[in-house]
Each structure stands twice: as structure tokens, then as C-alpha cells.
Amino acid sequence: MASSFHSLLPLSMTDFPSLPPHYHRQWKGTRVSAQEIRDLFEGLKQSYLDDFDMMLSGYIPGAEAVVAVGDIAKELKRKQAAAGTPGGFFWVLDPVMGDNGKLYVAEEVVPAYQSLVEHADLILPNQFEAELLSGVKITDMQTLQTAIRALHTKYRIPHVVITSVSLASPDHPPSHLSVVGSSMSPSTGEPRLFKIVFPAIDAYFSGTGDMFAALMTVRMREAVIAASANSEEQQQLKDRESWLSGDEVDALDLPLAKAAEMVLASMHEVLTQTARGMQEVVAAAGGDALAETEEGRTKLHLLKSKSAELKLVRNLASLREPTVELRARRL
């Protein structure tokens, strides 16, 4: 993965922890306004620092800020199109709105995202967010496929990956989750579906969504460059709009599927190591005995929240060169 590292420019949307307030039992910090986002980007342009080839957007505080971020992405897309390089900019959009049937953003954020997703190249909603965007209630794998088809046809979103899918399926046990993805056919708009099944880990972690999105951004670019290098076509994949593979490419050979395999390999290794460390921290502090008093329960809760932070630095090898055992299969 070292060869995939390039200059990064993070634009923080908030100045508070990523964990929800009930987890640390407090909430401090501020949110960046839509005008501040626009001002920061204007400063980048004035300094000629707006030559980006990819953009990843995650949690955005409020509908106006969502629109501001979308305007930046659309401007960068127009810039590349005007230069005759439609594949020169790729927007990965993680439409953070809620989970498990509940919103944790204001209701007006939902239509703001609905108005913008058609401009994204790859979206990374969870199951609940996919329902909000597609208008399809997801109850099984069949309705999940319907939702993805709607995202392709309604918004013309080229690439979709739905994370943390928890649906019964005859091909994996209930203790497993799945990631379901698709790159649409450029000629028909029909989905090319795949899924990757992985074992659930019984623990709460902080930052898994951000980690998944960041790794998908890197690995998608890496997979597209690899596909371009192996192609004999005159127009390479990395030069095409939205990096959309031709109809001849099978679902399991899509760069999106290859990228997702690498991402889940890294995720599984890092989460396993983080969970192991969490258990060690709790055991060293006295384990279940802490739960016998109110003070002990508070200490146990805060210990778990602290140790829930992903152990990234000490597991860099899992980010660079994970062992890929979880393979994509057709859906």
C-alpha cells in the first residue's frame, strides 16, 4: 500500500470526538459551518492547492454544510471535465445519517444528500442509509438488490457498497455480516452484484466507518490503476468517467470487488487485534468485579470506551499487506 500514499489534505468538519455522547458520557467541541467550509476551499484555490484526483467525504454537520461539500465536489468534477480528463476526479461519498433505523443528524440532512448523491462516483451507505436514499425498505437480500438497482437507476450512481448488512441468508450463519457492492453496467445501468461475508466481532469499536471509507478510497484507486496497467484498450480505466468497467467485466473481477476484499481483510485483522486488547485492559482492571459498584461500572464503561479506539498504528502491517481470506461471491 506504500505506493498508494499521496498528498492528503484533511478538512475537519467537527472539533469533537467521533464517539457518540453516550459512550464517553460527555460531549464537547464545535461544528464547522457551511460558510467556513466554503472559505477554506476558496483559500485552497487561491493558493493553487485544489488539484485533487480523489475526494472522500464522511460525517458532515447539517444540511447547509452537506450542500457546501457537494458544491466543492461538483466544481472539482467540472474542472476535470473541462480539461478533457473525466477520470481525473473521483468522489467517494459516505452519506452519514444514522444506523439501526434511527437518524443521528437533523431530518433536513436526508434530502440534502438525496440531491447530491447523483454526483458521487462511489457511495458507502449502511443498510439504514441505503433505505433512506433508495426509498426501498430492506428486509432481505432480494429487497437489498432492489435498493441497489434503484440507486443505480434513480441517481445513476456508478458504484455502491452497502456496509454492515445484517440479513438472514442460507449461505452464512447468523453470526456473520456482509458487505454488498455493485458497479453498474455502463450500457444498461443494471447492477453487477457481489457480496463478502465476514464474522461479526462481539464488541463496540470507534471509527470503523471512517476506516472502511478511507481504505475503500485507497484500494479503489489502487485496483483501478492495476486494471489499467493490465488493459490493452486505448482508453484505460483510470481515464474513464467514474472509473466504470465495461460490460465484459464480471462482478467478481470488478475493481470495486477487489478493493472491498482488501479492505475487509485489513478491517478484520485490525478489529480482531483491537478486541483482544480491549479484553486485556478490562481483565487487568479487575474484570466483571468492577460491575459490583456504581463507581466500578462507570470505570468499566470508560475503560471499554477508551480501548474501543482502533489499534491502527500498532497494526500497520494489516493496513499495508493484509492476508485476504474473505473473498467476494456473486449475489
- Reported as a single tens digit per residue, the pLDDT across 116-126 is 999 999 999 99
Q: At what angle do helices 34-46 and 63-82 cross, to 10 degrees?
A: 30
* pTM for the full predicted model: 0.89
Q: Are strands 193-199 and 102-103 parallel, antiparallel or unpaired?
A: unpaired
In which element (H, E) is residue 93 found? strand 90-93
- Reported as a single tens digit per residue, the pLDDT across 199-247 is 999 888 888 999 999 999 999 999 999 999 887 776 799 999 999 999 9
Cα–Cα distances (Å) from 49 to 46, 69, 94, 231, in that order, read 8, 16, 23, 32
**In the predicted structure, residue 251 carries a pLDDT above the cut 60:** yes
Q: Provide the total of helices (H) and of strands (E) in the chain, helices listed first.
A: 10, 9
160, 256, 92: which is closest to 147 by C-alpha? 160
pLDDT at 27: 56
**In the predicted structure, residue 132 carries a pLDDT above the cut 80:** yes
Q: Are strands 122-123 and 159-165 parallel, antiparallel or unpaired?
A: parallel
Q: Please give the average per-residue pLDDT across 274-303, as a whole number.
A: 78
pLDDT at 15: 53
pLDDT at 254: 98
Q: Please give the average per-residue pLDDT across 89-110, as a whole number.
A: 96
Q: What CATH code is assigned to 2-263?
A: 3.40.1190.20
- DSSP 3-state of 37: helix
| Distance from C-alpha of 124 to C-alpha of 130, rounded to nearest angstrom | 9
Q: At what angle do helices 127-134 and 141-155 cross, to 10 degrees?
A: 50
Sign of CA dihedral 254, 248, 136, 330: negative
The β-bridge partners of 14 are: 31
Please state, rounded to an integer, the average pLDDT across all residues of the chain.
89
At residue 2 the predicted structure's pLDDT band, cuts being 50, 70 and 90, is very low
Kindly state the percentage of the chain with pLDDT values over 70: 91
| Distance from C-alpha of 113 to C-alpha of 121, rounded to nearest angstrom | 14
| Distance from C-alpha of 108 to C-alpha of 148, rounded to nearest angstrom | 23
Cβ-in-10-Å burial (0-12, 13-18, 19+) of 118 comes to exposed
| Distance from C-alpha of 111 to C-alpha of 311, rounded to nearest angstrom | 35
Q: Please give the average per-residue pLDDT across 158-163, as a whole number.
A: 98
